[in-house]
Amino acid sequence: MSSSSNAEKAMQAYWAKNKALNRPAAPWQTYKFEHQMSMSLAHRVSGAAVGVVLYAGGIALALAPDSIPVYMEALKSLQLGPALMFPVKFIIVFPVIFHTITGIRHLLWDFRRDYKIPQVKPTGSLYTRYGCRLVHLKNYGFLAVAVALSSLLAGLAYIK
């Protein structure tokens, strides 16, 4: 008997058992969509985007014929106004800031032994072990902080 037929039988037994237990075929049929799911997905996507852009940019600059200051001067010589440069800078900096902030949030969850799912769900309050409130950010609070910090960094050159 071949291993492929054994695998096929095991797979059919698995699905027969799930059908007998009335289990759904996919998690999105079971779980109600909640905002922490989208925030988790956004954290993963932003991390992947930052990694790809940093690696691609680093490789491109390493293979480029000139140095970074030459390209910066060429960009400055275009004299693009703030109406164009601010959104470009924001698009560049937002994934980095968002991924950093949500990464810190995940680290706080990981190192808190008494932090449970009901506290994670609302992107809840972060407490010290003594019960002192450090930060109180509800729902999309981390997203708002990321947008505010990204806007500040993108607009830093325009503040006089």
> Residue 33 contacts by C-beta under 8 Å, 6 or more apart in sequence?
none
What are the domain boundaries of the chain? Answer: 35-158
- CA dist 107 and 125 (Å) reads 14
Q: Is the pLDDT of residue 126 over 60?
A: no
- CA dist 72 and 156 (Å) reads 17
pTM score, whole prediction: 0.65
Please classify residue 62 by burial: count the beta carbons closer than 10 Å to its beta carbon, then call 0-12 exposed, 13-18 middle and 19+ buried: exposed
pLDDT tens digit sequence for 53-106:
999 999 999 999 998 899 889 988 998 888 888 999 999 999 999 999 888 888
DSSP helix/strand/coil, 64: coil
Q: What is the pLDDT of residue 28?
A: 63
> Residue 64 contacts by C-beta under 8 Å, 6 or more apart in sequence?
71
* Residue 26 CA neighbour count, 13 Å, CB half: 2
Residue with tokens 């698009």: 91
Write out the two tokens for 139.
């729902």
Q: What is the pLDDT of residue 47?
A: 93
Q: What is the pLDDT of residue 45?
A: 92
The architecture CATH gives domain 35-158 = Up-down Bundle (1.20)
H and E: helices and strands count for the chain:
6, 2
Q: Are 106 and 36 in contact (CB under 8 A)?
A: no
Average pLDDT over residues 19-44: 75
